[in-house]
Chain A
Amino acid sequence: MSDISSKVVEIIVDKLGVDASEAVPTASFTNDLGADSLDTVELIMEFEKEFEISIPDEDAEKIATVGDAITYIEGKKN
């Protein structure tokens, strides 16, 4: 697992109170990991802070799964 993906999983585990084994790439924040709309906003903010990036709202709307987040952040960082 890349540094980015392990850090993303770590943040999700912390913020959503789920087990790391649940945070698989296909897992949807809202459908599988119990996040509500505010949890999702908080997650995005935490990604911005941790990876020192800015995620515009129109991009944030498209980040729905663990895999989406990893791909997006990797794209921003490379």
Chain B
Amino acid sequence: MKLRRVVVTGIGTINPLGNNIEQYFENLEKGVSGATPITHFDASKFKTQFACEVKGFDPNEHFDRKEARKYDRFTQFALVAAKQAVQDAGLTDAEEGIAEGIDKDRVGVVWASGIGGIETFFNEVTNFAKGDGTPKYNPFFIPKMIADIAAGHISMKYGFRGPNYCTVSACSSSNHAFIDALNLIRWGKADIIVSGGSEAAVNPAGIGGFNAMQALSTRNDDPATASRPYDTGRDGFVMGEGAGALVLEEYEHAKARGAKIYAEVVGGGMSADAYHLTAPDPQGAGAARAMQEALKDAGLKPEDVDYINTHGTSTPAGDIPELTGIQSVFGDHIYKVNISSTKSMTGHLLGGAAAVEALACIMAIDRGIVPPTINVTERDPQIDERINLTLGTAQKRDIDCALSNTFGFGGHNSTVIFKKVQ
């Protein structure tokens, strides 16, 4: 069976660098940090008191009050990003109805979140703990919290009745969503899938929990430089929040309706480290296998890749093994590739990370701009100095093919490859 081709026809985002695609791309290109002191809750007693928060977001501007109350913040972000992508793809008409010719039974939603409604869970349980033991849970507690509900809400909003579910693999979740969406369309199970991921864990449970693992940077005196992948002074990741959305569509379907095509999704690869709860395999072997699988799936050679958007979280343990894994796959071609960690700017959106990073790859392919890795003042000497980490400033380069890595606690590795449409 010949597999159908899959392309990106719509994009949307709300994240620490911007509340839409244009703002996001502009700040990615400029090399802006999204990190600021936490405003979402009183973090004065926390080891980490900053994060990459979404800025200037008022749910009431997007939803009526009754709706907004029923959505956890991660679902609010999902609906905002998905709406932009759906509009951008031309799936809706001027009156926000579904455009003519779109068969809603053939449109699915595969939407990721690493944690789901952690804030809702925290608030409801805190409320119970404050009482006398009488259960007073809000009836929306469960449907607000569960990680799959964003996918459900997107489908209900537009009436998309195709395959619908959530992928959960911690910080790798969104890439798993893209890979599933890619395969569903390839296999003919749907013609269009709204895919992506969102996370909203800048709250006492999220920050406190990751702090307890010693996973977060504690550079409280200078948040903007705290996310510094590949720098000797890196001391943990910076929590981000937000969402990224892609409309993935079967190639002929997209062509037939004259949709703008940003890039083709040519392959995905997945693997497990089977090594440790949180630490990556020191040789990056699991990461390497995910990249090899993705190349094989895409029918490409390592030499075809021009840009790699790394997982690069700015943790002492994680950054080097990934580069070791890349080197094992790419050999000497690694010196010809642009590599960058856009988490140096966006922070780490956990289950939404791969979604905003896919958008960075699309910017590179569609606009010929490679976003930089910022904040590296003292490059880690363990890193081969011939590797181009795109330090400091964005680089103009014609990018035909971009590869995006993400890895999650539990040892989940996933790689997605995007390419210019030929």
Residues on A facing B (Cβ under 8 Å): 14-17, 38-39, 41-42, 45, 49
Contact = CB atoms under 8 A, between A and B. Distances in A.
Contacts of A17: 64-67
B136 interface: yes
Contact of B138 (A14, A16, A42): A42
Contacts of B140: 38, 42
Contact of A15 (B64, B66, B136): B66
A contact patch SS: helix
B316 interface: no
A13 B31 CA distance: 46
B101 interface: no
B143 interface: yes
A7 B64 CA distance: 22
B228 to A, nearest CB: 45
Interface of B: 64-67, 136, 138-140, 143
B139 A41 contact: yes
7 contacts: A16-B66, A17-B65, A17-B67, A38-B139, A42-B139, A45-B138, A49-B136
B145 to A, nearest CB: 14
B interface secondary structure, majority: loop
Nearest to B143: A38
Nearest to A38: B139
A69 B109 CA distance: 40
Contacts of B139: 38-39, 41-42, 45
Contacts of B138: 42, 45
B209 to A, nearest CB: 28
A16 B69 CA distance: 10
Nearest to B66: A17
Nearest to A42: B139
A41 B140 CA distance: 9
Given A42-B139, A42-B140, 13 more contacts: A16-B66, A17-B64, A17-B65, A17-B66, A17-B67, A38-B140, A38-B143, A39-B139, A41-B139, A42-B138, A45-B136, A45-B139, A49-B136
Contacts of B136: 45, 49
A16 B67 CA distance: 9
A38 B140 CA distance: 7
A16 B139 CA distance: 14
A47 to B, nearest CB: 13
A16 B140 CA distance: 13
Closest 8 pairs (CB-CB, A-B): A17-B66, A41-B139, A38-B139, A17-B65, A42-B139, A17-B64, A38-B140, A16-B66
Contacts of A39: 139
A14 B68 CA distance: 12
